Amino acid sequence: MKLTDEAWKFWSRERYQPACAHYVCGHSFGTPLEPYSSLWCASLIASLNLTEPFTILDWGCGDGRLFNFLSGRFQFFRYYGLERPGNFGTACVASARRLFAHDYRATFDVFDTPTEAIALHEASAVVMGSIATHIPFPTFEEIIARVRPVLDHGGILVASIFIDEAYRCLHRGVYGHEDCYGFVSYMQEQLDHLCERAKLSAHETDTFVSADDNLHHVIHFRNVRSV
């Protein structure tokens, strides 16, 4: 999505008071400045055609940027935000809990907790905004398997991915994890083989150019039998 798109005219309008009226996205999270931060959120969720009430799982939620965006545009929804355990993820969850403690719609936690199991049972969509762009392809495959309960009951996984002619993992060790990278691009062939093995469909629904001029491909993954 671009600022000049007709869809942005719709998503740029807040209909309700956001959960955190003075939220400022941390600079550790991709494109932090407005209106591009909200444009990023819109690019991820616009094609989900969300109808209230809904439940969404934000896999790699940071400090809750997507929740705050949703709260300004919807009233009746449930949001689960999960982060990877470790110094960075734990700090993100703590920050999100401080910002949104007053809002019953949001729950923030780390992976491998009861919250994850509940979220996977309830969610109709999993959003991975700029997560695949930092993890090796085998880790992405593991996450696909992990969120399978959502896909198995007809839900969607939304992931933003860098697609290139070469599989590249550059600048190892970001966010405090040895297996996390500053930039990761997948090949279309890898995604095609994954879908074939896992019996998934994959459809690009949008693109977004980040502050560092990287082109994110926003892709919906679904069970083939759900299409």
List, for residues 102-142, the tens digit of each pLDDT value: 999 999 999 999 999 999 999 999 999 999 999 999 999 99
Domains of the chain from N-terminus onward = 6-226 (3.40.50.150)
Section 183-194 average pLDDT: 97
Is residue 226 over pLDDT 80?
A: no
- The pLDDT assigned to 227 comes to 53
List, for residues 6-52, the tens digit of each pLDDT value: 999 999 999 999 999 888 887 677 788 899 999 999 999 999 999 99
- The pLDDT assigned to 54 comes to 98
- The pLDDT assigned to 122 comes to 98
% of the chain exceeding 90 in pLDDT: 89
Section 168-180 average pLDDT: 92
Nearest-10 crossing angle of helices 137-146, 188-198: 30
List, for residues 68-111, the tens digit of each pLDDT value: 999 999 999 999 999 999 999 999 999 999 999 999 999 999 99
- The pLDDT assigned to 79 comes to 98
Alpha helices in the chain (DSSP H): 6-11, 36-45, 65-71, 87-100, 114-122, 137-146, 148-152, 188-198
Q: Report the mean per-residue pLDDT for the chain.
A: 94
Is residue 151 over pLDDT 60?
A: yes
pTM comes to 0.95
Give the three-state DSSP class for 146.
helix
How many whole angstroms separate alpha carbon 37 and alpha carbon 24? 10
Name the pairing type of β-strands 200-209 and 215-223: antiparallel
- The pLDDT assigned to 212 comes to 83
- The pLDDT assigned to 30 comes to 76
- The pLDDT assigned to 211 comes to 81
